[in-house]
Amino acid sequence: MAPSISRHAKQSSMRASAGLRLFSIGVADLSCKGIIGARVSHGRLPLIAFGMAHSGKNLLWSGVDGLSLYILIKVVVVSPIIAGMLFVISSFWNAAMDGIWGWTISRSSMIRRMLPGVSAVAVIIACLSFALLPSLPTGAIWPAATALIAFRTSFALLDVPHNAATTPLAQVHGHLALSRWRAILGAGMSVLIAVAASSTLLGTPQSAARAVIIFPLLALSALILLSPLPWLIQALAMDRPTPRSASAGPPAGMPSRALVTFCLIQMMGFAALASIGKSVLHIDIMPRWVLENALLLLSLMRLAGTWLWSPVATRFGSATALSIAYIFCAAAILSLPIAIGWGPVWCAAILCVLGASFGGIALLAWSTFSELLSHSENGAASFSASYGLFTAVSKIGLGFSALLTASWIDQYAQGLAPSSLSLMTIMVAILCILTALAAWDGWRQIFQVSNSRTPAV
């Protein structure tokens, strides 16, 4: 009896020791990938700092991306084609900065040590250039171009390291959970910008003049929200070197082929969606009260879409749910010209469906990308290069959307009809469907099943 008990105790001790070793290996692996040290392993302070910085960043981004084209055309009185070109050039410059800055961070330990200071300076410049946008003199093309380039440059310097902090936090708090918070905070800031636009830009010239006061107040709010960003970058130890992996794969600091493919697919989808978002304010054939509140409706439903699409992602996975969201978006876009003819209630309903689809895509695209990145073999420094690539191609898509919208506005400057709107919505809906098909996760499963079948003898 005694030897049996002793042997059983010894086996239990061995199992406990093995479990402890496995737990230690898991914690060490998470610490290596997540780059979360003892200072930030416990508590929610890094998550709060990330949320504040994300809110401030999206407050600036929503204002510039959603309203700068409108400001250039309606306030600065620049022709639609020139305004579209300025937006495209600044977007492409921002994309180039994202890629270069992300690659530089991944390759240089000295730059990674300088990130907190660089991000602090970039925050100040971005907020100042944002505040000056409505104050540009009439017809001032070069000052407008300078302000946009200054904003895009400084925004890239703070955006890439902030996005690189997503994966370390997601590996602790969950990819979908952190993407949900990103989407909620981003949509909340777009609602704030929509309220500001409804009260300052859309309406009489007197209300447009109030933008000179409102925009600096928004910039000050963004400055306060972005103030924890330098601490967050330092706390997450972004200056740690990228570990070299012995397994075959892309060079250290370089995104994998799956990540590159995903980014290129989303570039097409983002270009389609953003063109609709930018053109909504110029669709004069919509009922007046719907037109004045279109941006607010889209933003509110984008916020609601975060909760609506989370169960879908939980049930089918983020990648498949992303394709479904694009299909819903295509259907809403195709229905918009018909709904305008049916009256304001139907028009507002379609805008709500469109906004909810926007919210789902914003949530699921980042969640899918974060999951893909977590499976890569590279370390924390490569996160900057990967997120730099994602934001770069996204901004290229946004740049193309502005050019598409400006060309459409210029072509129908003499008068807009439902038929002319239908041409644009059909083209955008086709792009959404192509994006859904290209991004659908089921293709990979079909190919895997096909390859696993043994030939008949």
Q: pLDDT value at position 443?
A: 52
DSSP symbols for 80-121: HHHHHHHHHHHHHHHHHHHHHHHHHHHH-HHHHHHHHHHHHH
Q: pLDDT value at position 25?
A: 32
Task: Dump pLDDT digits (tens) for 328-366.
Answer: 999 998 988 888 888 889 989 999 999 899 888 988 888
Question: Can you tell me the distance from the alpha carbon of 319 to that of 375, in angstroms, rounded to the nearest whole number?
Answer: 14
Q: pLDDT value at position 75?
A: 74
Is the separation of the CB atoms in 357 and 332 below 8 Å? Answer: yes
Question: Can you tell me the distance from the alpha carbon of 83 to that of 203, in angstroms, rounded to the nearest whole number?
Answer: 21
- The pLDDT confidence band at residue 314, using thresholds 50, 70 and 90, is confident
- From the CB of residue 346, how many other CB atoms can be counted at a distance below 10 Å? 17
Query: What is the Cα 152 distance to its own chain's centre?
Result: 15
Q: pLDDT value at position 18?
A: 43
- The pLDDT confidence band at residue 86, using thresholds 50, 70 and 90, is confident
What is residue 428's three-state secondary structure? helix
Report the greatest alpha carbon distance in the chain: 98
Lowest-pLDDT choice from 5-19, 192-206, 269-283, 415-429 = 5-19
User: Measuring CA to CA, which residue among 436, 437, 424 is closest to residue 334?
Assistant: 424
User: Measuring CA to CA, which residue among 313, 424, 291 is closest to residue 367?
Assistant: 313
Q: What angle do CA 447, 453, 457 make, to 5 degrees?
A: 145
Mean pLDDT of the chain: 76
Confidence check: pLDDT of 103 > 50: yes
Q: Where are the alpha helices (DSSP H) in 227-293?
A: 229-235, 257-279, 288-292
Per-residue DSSP letter, 160: H
